[in-house]
Structure 1
Amino acid sequence: MDKKVHFLGDNAITNDNDDKFNFKHYAGKVQSIIQKNADNVEPLVIGIYGKWGDGKTSFLNLLENKIDLFEKEKEGNGLLKYHFNPWQYNNVDEVIFDFFGGLSQKMYLRNDEKWKKVGERISKYSRYLKSVKISASLGVTKNFGTKVTFEPSEILKVLGEDLKGEELSLEALKQKVNIALEEVQYKVIVFIDDIDRLDKNEIYTILKLIKLNANFHKFIFIVTLDAEHVAKAINNRYGDNIEDGYLFLEKIINIPIHLPKIEKEDLQSFFENNLYQISNYLDLNERNQLEIQNISYTFETDLFNSPREIKRILNNFFISAFGFESEINLTDLFWIEYLKNKNERLYDKIKKYNRHKSSNSLFNGQSILIDFNDDVTVVQEAKTIFKMDSCGTRLNLLNKNTEFEWIINKLFPIISNKDKDNSFDENLRINSTNHFDKYFSYHLENKIKTITVDKLKFAIKNSDFVQFNIELEKLFENEDLNYKSIFTLDSLVKSYRNDLSSKKERDFFFLSIVEKIFLIPEGFEDMFGINNRMRLVELIATILNDTNIDDSNKEICLKISESLDVFLFCHFVRKFRVEQATFKNQLEEIIVRKAEKYFNVNKPVFINPKTTVKMIMHYWKKYDSLNFDKHIKSSLTEIDRIKMLVRNFPGFWNNSKYGGLTEENYKYMKELIDVDFVFSQIKKFDNSLISNLNIKKYTHIDESDESSLDENLEQFIYWYLKENDRKMLLLNKK
């Protein structure tokens, strides 16, 4: 292999020195058959049978070399070789006529009068064959549905070939070709490779060409094919099943030659040579070298269908491993690439597997291993009743892919708890959740580095706040990876959902997150106005609420309250239920204390309407009504501020539009706000808003109708007048 070429080529071998499977000996025997048949004028068809990738073309090349070498006997026939490639044609007509065109051209180039005569005869034969085909397909429709067909001789004149005076029939012209061939004292060997790659019509055309159209004297056809594939392609023409296809093939092929079996030792050597060849282009460390050796040691002949398949799998392995050697276990990579080639459906199921479903997903500081036994509720039942260790996804995979059970066991073994250690993780095995994804993406770009997550877990386990901050910053240092970093953090938080055994670690982790919440990018808000920080805080609160037994989580909740601003703390508190956490009232009061510190006349609570503002106003009114009313009244210093206050009470849809202020919204607003004072301020700043109100516009207000700031204010005025000043309302109606 050229040093600049990394891939294993799929080209067939061309000489004996490259023959790794000792085909040359059998090729010598076939050459002897051809040599001994040199004086026989009858056409001969030799079929070289083998599956795709077995080396039929290589055998054909070795055979051609042998034919080049054998000596012509005195007065015997020489050899003219003609290679015909039916792949390059678009339709069956081109295949037939270009075969004869190329053959006659080959003979013209011999620069010998006898050969030119043979070429001319074949050319005339080809033209007449074409005219016969045209005459059978063209005609002029007459009355009563009759059809007049042109004579081949007339068509030949149009084609530029006048055979006037000669006997016009295919057999007569073919006989003239045979006579001309007798004069040159040569055998013509026609090589046709891989007809099994053609479609069924093209295969039939080639077989018909060999047996009927071009069965000239002194012709030897050597054809390579997969007999099973060809028999399937032609059986419908000659029967009902594949056996009928085989029977027809027997009529075409005079001498079937099956490729010799590749000996195990030769295939082993072939595999190892190619494996080490591509390994030379990988940057292997000491561990990698042992992994390459392990691949070689576990090679089994029965696992591969052909030498071509070996090269294809090794090339796939090389592509996946190149530049990525230090991040994965090469032995595991090879076998998962093997599976991809052998059973793509099973490979895809493994690739798409949610590794977080592993039954070993307890956060205990150890590596989490994937064995696909993800239905933990039936593991023991499966062992007891069915005497097996498989359940869930693993059982489903094995039931539908029994022939690949060995590779599932190899890559994803079932390890008992007492035998678990960190070796799978340290050796970068595919069954480690820390490394699983790498085997299917082949890169570290847009990927969270395993070492960062591991260090984060280690810091949590050891309550190391300094190290935690360092690793959290690293987790979000690449903006393009923020969504994956959020997912990683989210998964770590969720790992404590049902784990009551690591309360100390959990509390440290949750408190550390909220203390450094500013390091987490807010990201885009969803349709409910929730961003990354809010979502994470709500997730922590949900877990603390659900796992709160006898107020066991009260202390950590109160500590968390010290680190969150009033808005995020509202998202935290909203996930608690009084029946689950009796200290919720304390959390609500903390919201009020935070609000009183944060908001003032210059920065009123209502100035930026959002879901949490209404929640803040609700608890502020509940726990400190006097100061809340004072804050509101002192802040309503202009009409625009009044608009913003009202804006907090209509519905807010899809985080994008405000609806109408319904009567229900107005009644809730009355519970929190002194609406009389608000109305008086409207009269003070702009009384025309009241006197010019178009009452008819608001006889029906829908919560989902998008409304502007001005419209919400007018809706407030409408409801106020309807409730308090019917006389004014009637005047406005007029």
Structure 2
Amino acid sequence: MQNESYSSDAPVSKIDEDAFSRWSFSKRVAQVIANRQDPSSIVIGLYGAWGDGKTSVLNFIDQSLTNNEAVICIRFNPWRFGTEDQLLLGFFNQIADALDNKLTTSSDKLKDIGNKILKPVTKLANVEAVGEIVTSFISMPDIDIFKERTEKLLEESKKRVLILIDDVDRLDKTEIHTLFRLVKLTADFKYTSYILAFDKDIVSSSLQDRYSSSQGNSGEAFLEKIIQVPLNLPYIDKSTLRSFCYQGIDEALQLANIELTQEQIQRFSSNYLSAFESCISTPRKAKLYSNTLMFSLPILKGEVNPIDLMLIEGIRLFYPKLYDFIKNNQDLFAGTFISSQYGNDNANKEYIKKLIDETILNLSATEKEGIVELLKDIFPRLQAVYNNTYHSGDSLKIWEENQNICSKNYFFRYFGYSLLPNDISDTNLNLLVQDINNWQPPYSTETNPLYVALTPENADTLIQKLYKKVASLDSGGSTKMAIAITQISEKLPAENSFMWSDAYTQSTWLIADLILNISKVERVKVIKNLFNHANTIDYQTKIFRFLKHDQRDDAQLNYLSSEEMRDIGTHLARKILAEIQDKDITLDEKNPTSYIFWLLNKYINQDVVNDYIEKIIRTDDNAIYRILDNYTTTFTNLVNGIERKDDLNQNSFNYLSKHINVSIIYQAIERHYPELTRVLKNYPNIEKGENDRETPIIQQFLWWYRRDMTHRSFEFVSSKAGLISVLI
């Protein structure tokens, strides 16, 4: 297996996406059409099974003719039109639009001529039988005007038209018949070529029903009358298709961060060759398999055996009847026969074999042999059924340790996904809450029940489930749980996510709810104590930020008064100030620098903030940029999770200037970055893709600072002038 970037099931259109050497074939077909001197029309049939890459080949043909001004490519998809009259109108309108756009003419537009001759179509739809509208329309005399005008324009401009028609085999029988009659009746347009892409067997069968005959091949005979050049898609050999499938599987494994051993790879490859290779006959089926694993492997990572999962998922896709039979008959597949007890249980073994044989009855002999070998591999119990080979009780322990599907304790995880990798059972949750209630002072981290129970993988689920236990806790239990969560806060994932849904932030909301359970007289004391148990300043500030005091919109009655909040805020501000005296908090991106400055400014005074800023800038002039950048907004893409920092806009500057004496930063810039202090005519935007944020962020600060100073000077002059006028 090799590494390969994941791609969807969509058709490809670029040469670097060509995994099956179809580009050269497509280019040759395009060149033959483009270099054709004969003005007569030609109809080409591009044959291939569903998912074999017909649309991709049409895309390649279209792409290879992009720079050829002698050929006008028109993509027509009949699947978009529901009725015969709509199909007819769509066909001629699309041709007219394309030619009007590509051909320069001083006379009437083809679209105008088309609109005139297409007017009777609506009337025909009301009176003609299904399938006869095309015939009636083509026989109208005005159609010759459109034809002659089209041929004349193409001849004068020395251009040809290539009409690419896709998804023919997705139409119903009547629609297929209508489309082929339309092509047949318009195929005498000069300088016009058609390529119709479809599964020949499906289309022939549909036409067979329409033109049944005693020979039984009337559908194919009808095709032969229309398709002048039948082309099959280039064959994809099994090894190429296998490599393509393995590339997708590798991507799924990488996405799940699963690394297989050489033994596991050999085990999977052996079963793939025997059971799946004959089923994966097209690129689409290969991609279907790898895409399925792309989802199932990450979901069940760590909860099941990855090879067993990959194999049972293959059975689900390619042998769905067998998959359902396995899922509904755990007792027949999981566990083992013990030779001493069941060695003579031939009747039971024959019964199991009979049931399996009935399920795979319609498979070929080779397919049956391959799938039975696979079943014996993932369900060793069947080795007793087919080979009289037994496994001891020790095997059960090994299968349990390996999380194999043949273990009864893991069997249903492969089918119902009942226990996700980040889940925790209700039984374990109740035991955990009980352990927290029994936790005793001095509340050390080593004895914290959450220290072992909580992992980054199950943190989200565990925090959510602890939420449901809040109502059942008393004051003492709530205090202990709040301390337990605070102590392990560094283990909580803190991804920037939509609406603060990460476990790190959610845990502080949980603490805020737990505090409501704590007796009123103890509440302030407990909160102050939580700050001592928090390992980071960021978590201390987050606890404080989400307290539901009486000034918040979501305030809880009798939660915390303004006086109590000031007491708590002052305590936290002084604690943080003591911690950061000999540190530069801007060096750690996890520190909420702007919020810390707000906290110190509000609960102590601005002087301590200004003094601190002057001190860290004297030590490291790069702190100027780090301070400013901390006041810019961070946006997170909800689709891919990628973060993007905003400019230092006016709102950011205004917020900064409320908590800091911005003249300190301005003067520091003059000292350390004099080359950046020149006055700019325009606001210094950060260009998309620009790696250097430092220079524009500092220039943006200078921009807003000067505007602010100008505004203040204007206000001062205005107020002074007003005062003078009053005195006069």
TM-score, length-normalised on structure 2?
A: 0.49
Which entry has the higher C-alpha Rg, 1 or 2?
A: 1
TM-score, length-normalised on structure 1?
A: 0.49
